[in-house]
């Protein structure tokens, strides 16, 4: 959240503009492929529908998946999503 100090008004950005698909889709698909889980196994572990998982594939229609869905699939693959402060240079 960014606060405008003069007016004390919170500015919250809720939209993201990707020219193409959200890069998390390719990363999640690579994770699924590396673990070797089927869409049926992921569905049974998470409740995420098989059609949703199919829509994440390169020619699928999903452009920006919901965070909670990506998180559920990552957990089914034995991973968790981590937020990194990109403002801090590695040092």
Q: Domain spanning 17-76: which CATH class is it, in words? A: mainly alpha
- Report the pLDDT value the prediction gives residue 87, as an integer from 0 to 100: 79
- Report the pLDDT value the prediction gives residue 8, as an integer from 0 to 100: 56
- The distance of Cα 38 from the centroid of its chain, to the nearest Å, equals 19
**Per-residue 3-state assignment (H helix, E strand, C coil) for the chain:** CEEECCCCEEECCCCCCCCCCCHHHHHHHHHHHHHCCCHHHHHHHHCCCHHHHHHCCCCCCCCCCCHHHHHHHHHHCCCCCCCCCCCCCCC
**Tens of pLDDT, residue by residue, the chain (91 residues):** 444 455 555 555 555 566 788 999 999 999 999 999 999 999 999 999 999 999 999 899 999 999 999 999 999 999 998 888 877 766 6
Q: Tell me the domain boundaries of the chain.
A: 17-76
């Amino acid at each position: 959240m960014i606060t405008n100090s003069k007016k004390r008004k919170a500015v919250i950005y809720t939209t993201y503009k990707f020219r193409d698909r959200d890069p998390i889709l390719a990363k999640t698909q690579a994770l699924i492929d590396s673990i070797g889980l089927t869409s049926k196994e992921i569905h049974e572990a998470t409740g995420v529908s098989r059609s949703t998982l199919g829509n994440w594939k390169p020619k699928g229609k999903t452009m920006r998946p919901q965070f909670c869905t990506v998180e559920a699939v990552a957990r089914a693959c034995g991973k968790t999503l981590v937020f990194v402060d990109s403002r801090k240079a590695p040092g």
